[in-house]
Amino acid sequence: MPAPDHDHHHDHDDEGQQPPSDMTLRVKALESLLVEKGIVDPAALDAIIETYEHKIGPRNGARVVAKAWIDPAYRARLLENATAAIAELGFGGRQGEHMIAVENTPRIHNLVVCTLCSCYPWPVLGLPPVWYKSAPYRSRAVIDPRGVLAEFGLVLPDDVELRVWDSTAEIRYLVVPERPGGTERFDEEQLAELVTRDSMIGVAKARAPA
């Protein structure tokens, strides 16, 4: 794994221990103005934030992958038309309007990036982590993908083909990781527990069963 984030500046304004940061004040001022003008409804902001904090996240994608592992017909539909197959489970919409699933095999490993901004399949993975949106990942994932994977602790054999997917259009990519060994008796719910966010971006494999 990359080094833990010791020098990241966490913003603890809401704990009341420190004076509010510049950004806290600037965003508050803008929100007050936009509410006063009737440009935005503050309750709509609450609903948007609630959606991405609590309703939409990588558990959605994990359900898709687990179902693909257990149900060959679903796997075929997912690889044929991911948008429709994902919609079968009730997921879709903003930043996932056009989905493609790419499957890892013993011969092929897939890795997703957006070098130009931060495109990411929101309906199945939620909002992207900071590292995915960061300059180091966006710059290196295309030129040194094996080095990037090694930093995440994943060393690929030389004969495995590494396919990087740069999300330059409105097509969003979901990696279907390999099903871990020793899970033959697992049900869909147990399998979903093994499917991490990072394995669906392609910087990790699915978790091995305990």
Partner 1 sequence: MNGVHDMGGMQGLGRIVAEANEPVFHARWEGRVLGLTLASAAWGRWNLDKSRHARESVPGAEYLCMSYYEIWFAGLIKLLVDGGLVTRDELASGQSEAPKQKPPLTADRVEAVLASGAPTQRTAAAAPRFSAGARIRARNIHPTGHTRLPRYARGKLGTITRHHGAHVFPDAHAQGLGEKPQHLYQVRFEASELWNDAQRNAVHIDLWEDYLEPA
Q: Is 81 in the site for partner 1 (CB under 8 A)?
A: no
**Cβ neighbour number for residue 113 with a 10 Å cutoff:** 25
Report how far Cα 126 is from the mean position of its chain's Cα atoms. Answer: 6
Report DSSP state, residue 55.
I
CA-only gyration radius of the chain, Å: 19
CB of 116 to partner 1, least distance (A): 6
Query: Would you call 119 a catalytic residue per the annotation?
Result: yes
- Helix-strand-coil split of the chain, %, nearest 5: 45, 10, 45
Q: Which of 21, 32, 117, 139 is catalytic?
A: 117
Contact window for partner 1 (CB under 8 A) among 64-72, 74-82, 87-95, 175-183: 87-95
Strands 98-103 and 171-176, bridge-based pairing: parallel
Query: Would you call 139 a catalytic residue per the annotation?
Result: no
Binding mask 55-74 for partner 1 (x = CB under 8 A): -xx-----------------
CB of 177 to partner 1, least distance (A): 17
Burial (CB count <10 Å: 0-12, 13-18, 19+), residue 194: buried
Contact window for partner 1 (CB under 8 A) among 60-68, 70-78, 130-138, 184-192: 130-138
- Closer residue to partner 1, CB minimum distance, 36 or 184: 36
* Residues 72, 178, 151: CA angle, nearest 5 degrees: 160
What is the Cα–Cα distance from 22 to 19, expressed in whole angstroms? 9
Instruction: Tell which one of 18, 106, 159, 184 touches partner 1 (CB under 8 A).
Output: 159
Q: Is 32 in the site for partner 1 (CB under 8 A)?
A: yes
Whole-angstrom CA distances from 153 to 76, 162, 197, 206, 210 are 30, 16, 15, 13, 19
Q: Is 207 in the site for partner 1 (CB under 8 A)?
A: no
- Closer residue to partner 1, CB minimum distance, 8 or 185: 8
- Closer residue to partner 1, CB minimum distance, 150 or 187: 150
Contact window for partner 1 (CB under 8 A) among 23-31, 63-71, 72-80, 185-193: 23-31
Q: Is 150 in the site for partner 1 (CB under 8 A)?
A: no
Write out the catalytic residue numbers. 114, 117-119
